[in-house]
Amino acid sequence: MITRDISLGACVLDLIDNSVDGATRATDESPAQRRAKSPKPHPLSSGSSRYRGYKIELKCSRSSFRIRDNCDGIPVDIACEYAFNFGRDPSEHTDADTEAGIVIYGIGMKRALFKLGKEFEVKSNTIDDGFVMNVDVDAWAAKPQDWNLELTTAKPSSNDPGTTIEVKNLHPSVAQELDTDAFVTRLIEAAARTYAVFLDQGLELRINGAKVKPTEFTFLQGRGFQPLHQRWKESVPRPSAKPSKVEVEGEIWAGAATTAAGARPDSEEDEDASAWGWYVLCNNRVVLSADKTERTGWGLTRFPQWHPQYNGFIGIVSFRSEEPYALPWTTTKNDIDVDSIVYRRARARMQEAARAYISYSRTRKANLEGAKKIERSAPPVRATEVSTQQQMKTPAVPGTTQGTVNILYQKPKRQVAKAAAALGDPALPAAQVGIKTFDYFYANKVE
């Protein structure tokens, strides 16, 4: 069954994705218009109000589940041909797929509805058309030769364009879980992370009446701290036939970070490590949160495994493409396709970005109070405010020379210059080349 390999929480997020993409379609220009004008705004733009005025309201209980939005609705042709149609070729890109969107019409919405219960109703209105769909899952399943989900067209409503989905006769396990405060709390936390960019740009999301506030990503900048911020582009084969290539934009931020409350870890034994690690975004939707596993490079190919000593590190890697299929996410959108060539190349960048913080964490451990004093005086800045910086910089912490030795050796100037260039800074002093190459060797061969 298509519902077995996805959690209830992920199914709910799939339905929210549909609403978010509706707002994206409504606020987007055509691809031709975009190409003729300026490039897309910053992927994590905090100054944008693109989604202001768009609202999504979700209510769940033991008896029913309902999600309602004012995000301009689902056009009837998309509903008939893609959203509620079984058997679409997964490699087929169509006009139903929102440019740079987070929904690939085909399985997500249907999987979510079947996961939730045995009866569901979908009402949707655009400024041009509308429809109503009522499905009794048991009655539909009793006709194995007929996979069609029937809908009735309705008059458009220019005053209230949007979609309402209500599921009743919930599966017993679903009803039990939806009725718990713990599930609702987890869902709010997941939504705050997953849709942080959209919420920051004005989207309003409420879950059982509670307004979801976006997770903020902040880094220390100043007093010797400078987060890394890199951008790149690459062309990859398009899953569908024409054109043969599609562009993927990549972006990385990494550095000494703070929690939403502006806190830094007290020590490596800090109990709450939930904020630290790597965040992976595809078309602005968070796919992995605070990951500390091999997926994001930790413990992979002689790179050190995550250690509590690294608490305080946050990295963000963002992938964007007008072709959603080109992005390195799975159909559940809560995991990464680690075999994707786009992701494998990015992961090498991610590992290199983390090395500087690994080195700083050793210094921090040697004089925690001295390091925290510097950290307290360094202002936090949002990821959107970090300028392009090819390397992360961290401060020297006074009083951390005890237990150290000097290493002195000579090498040809030409080799040192080449090593400096390979480290990303041809002007790097020879002493720093020695330190960085030692740190690289230690991280790869010793730890």
Q: Decide if 154 contacts 161 (C-beta within 8 A).
A: no
pTM over 0.85: no
Q: Which domain holds residue 238?
A: 218-404
How does DSSP classify residue 59?
Answer: E
Q: How many residues does the chain have?
A: 447
Query: Last residue of some domain: 183, 211, 239?
Result: 211
Q: Is there a single domain that holds both residue 249 and residue 358?
A: yes
In 46-126, the DSSP E strands lie at: 55-60, 64-69, 117-125
Do 292 and 342 have their domain in common? yes
Q: According to the model, what pLDDT value does residue 294 have?
A: 96
- Residue 1 within any structural domain of the chain: no
- Cβ atoms of 215 and 257 closer than 8 Å: no
Average model confidence (pLDDT) for the chain? 85
| 56: in domain | yes
Distance CA 268, CA 283 (A): 33
Domain harbouring 158, CATH code: 3.30.565.10
| Burial class, 350, CB count within 10 angstroms (exposed 0-12 / middle 13-18 / buried 19+) | buried
Q: Is residue 157 part of a domain?
A: yes
pLDDT tens per residue across span 328-354: 998 778 889 999 999 999 999 999 999
Q: Is 117 a domain residue?
A: yes
Please check whether residue 3 lies inside any domain of the structure: no
Burial class (CB in 10 A: 0-12, 13-18, 19+), 369: exposed
The conformation of residue 10, written as its DSSP 8-state character, comes to H
**Crossing angle for the helix pair 8-27 and 181-194, nearest 10 degrees?**
40
The predicted-structure confidence for 110-164, as pLDDT tens digits, reads as follows: 889 999 999 999 999 998 899 999 999 998 888 877 777 888 898 887 777 999 9
Which of 164, 185, 211 lies at the terminal end of a domain, its last residue? 211
**Mean per-residue pLDDT, 98-102:** 67
The CA distance from 180 to 95, in Å, is 39
Listed residue (152, 141, 145) closest to 119, CA to CA: 141
Q: Does residue 308 share a domain with residue 203?
A: no
